[in-house]
Amino acid sequence: MIFKKSPGGWKMEKWEEKLPPRVRERLASIKITPEDRARIKAQEKVKSILSAFYQDKLTPEQLGEEFKKLEIENREFLIKEAQTRIVDSIGLQILPEDFKKRGKALLVLERLKKEAKPSLIKAEINLLGELIKRCKEEKERVYSQLKQQVEENPELRMRKAKTEGGEEILVQLSVDEAVLTLPEWREFVSQHEEACSSQFAQLIDRIKNLL
């Protein structure tokens, strides 16, 4: 049993005492079955496992082993929930090593399901990785080109500014500061991020639909 009934009503178990205050309040305010309590306990365990994974305390393989230990009837639901959380933790600016680790974790968890689709998910993960890499490289390429232009033309580093007294003066920016203020850079970034974000969102949705 995961809860006990005392003369004064239901008594909180030790695992419940470790839950966040809001979760404890919710448990106390609603009538739930023993099955509900088991599911809530398992969901909190999933959050704890994922937290350790994000902190590099668990490898993808160890993450899978932790899910194998979960003693609950609807374990596949929790696996899908964990996979969804992992997918949501991926962004366009993610580091290559973090992306690789999350991708591997998704596949490890997928193989724990009865009707697994690891090959399909792996293909989509590879496409997502290629997109992230391509977007990053394209941004770096354009930045490098504009930086070279600024370095070759010192006038591009000059900007007008006003003193506290309202006097207009010329100030010299660093090369990097000048690049960031160029209209060409701002326009490129706007269009580039819009295009990459759109493609990224589509691939993320495709992965989630396969889970």
Domain positions in the chain are 1-116, 136-211
Residue identified by tokens 């269009």 is: 191
Let me know: does 190 contact 182? Beta carbons within 8 Å.
no
Q: Using alpha carbons only, what angle is made at residue 173 by residues 170 and 177, rounded to the nearest 5 degrees?
A: 140
Q: What is the pLDDT of residue 22?
A: 78
Query: For residue 103, what are its two tokens?
Result: 């991708």
Residue (of 14, 85, 102, 88) closest to 43 by Cα position: 85
Distance (Å, whole) CA 145 – CA 175: 12
Phi, psi of 158, rounded to the nearest 5 degrees: -90, 135
Residue 30: per-residue pLDDT: 66
How confident is the model over 48-89, as pLDDT tens digits? 999 999 999 999 999 999 998 877 667 888 899 999 999 999
pLDDT value, residue 10: 46
- Tell me the one-letter amino acid at 140: E
Between CA 59 and CA 146 the distance in angstroms is 41
Q: How far apart are CA 28 and CA 5, in angstroms?
A: 13
Band (6; pLDDT cuts 50, 70, 90) = very low
Contacts of 104 (CB under 8 A, 6+ apart): 60
Phi, psi of 25 (to 5 degrees): -65, -40
pTM (2 d.p.): 0.77
- Calculate the average pLDDT of the chain: 87
User: Closest Cα to residue 10, out of 43, 46, 36?
Assistant: 36
pLDDT tens readout for residues 112-151: 998 999 999 999 999 999 999 999 999 999 999 999 999 9
DSSP state of 172: E
Q: How many other CB atoms sit within 10 Å of the CB of residue 128?
A: 23
Q: Count Cβ atoms within 10 A of the Cβ of residue 123 and give its class: 0-12 exposed, 13-18 middle, 19 or more buried.
A: middle
